[in-house]
């Protein structure tokens, strides 16, 4: 099966380019029975602006963007097997993790969380994921 590009109008296109420049990235690509979702940040899907400065709100918006892309592929968070998280400020981890736990509502995934610098000013969390169609 050739790779299939998945797109959702309910999540921003990533790439952190200016709003007038098309992103070089796909929101997600299906390859076989796996879906690889590009890193999402706390951007409003319509305005492509950072939704909030609060890490809890940023986490919820980021996860909602991921969930919307998964839904466009016919999947949900229950299909996610792995997530990678980048936090701009590692001291945000407890608040991030609290919002993450609430959003996931008991759903289990494997996850790596590191400190780093997302490319866009004001973005304090970025998350990508891999989901399975099986």
> Domain of 110: which CATH number?
3.30.1330.40
Tokens found for residue 9: 């109008």
- The boundaries of the domain holding residue 30 are 4-15+22-132
- Across the chain, which distance is largest between two alpha carbons, in Å? 43
Domain total in the chain: 1
**Distance linking the first and last C-alpha atoms of the chain:** 15
Q: Find, among 124, 63, 56, 121, the residue nearest to 90 by Cα.
A: 124
Catalytic residue IDs: 113
Q: Is the pLDDT of residue 20 over 80?
A: no
> Is pLDDT of 7 > 80?
yes
Residue pair 125/58 in contact by the 8 Å Cβ criterion: yes
Sorting pLDDT into bands at 50, 70 and 90, what band is 110? very high
**pLDDT of 108 strictly over 80:** yes
- Kindly state the average pLDDT of the residues 51-55: 95
């Amino acid at each position: 099966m050739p790779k299939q590009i998945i797109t959702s109008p309910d999540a921003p296109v990533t790439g952190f380019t200016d709003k007038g420049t098309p992103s070089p990235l796909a929101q997600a690509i299906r390859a076989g029975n796996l879906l690889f979702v590009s890193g999402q940040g706390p951007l409003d899907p319509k305005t492509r602006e950072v939704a909030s400065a609060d890490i809890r709100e940023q986490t919820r918006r980021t996860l909602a963007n991921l969930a919307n892309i998964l839904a466009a592929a016919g999947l949900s968070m229950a299909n996610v097997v792995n997530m990678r998280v980048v936090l701009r400020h590692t001291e945000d981890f407890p608040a991030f993790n609290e919002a993450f736990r609430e959003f996931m509502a008991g759903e289990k995934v494997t996850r790596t969380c590191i400190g780093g610098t997302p490319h866009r000013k004001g973005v304090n969390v970025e998350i990508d994921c891999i989901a399975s169609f099986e």
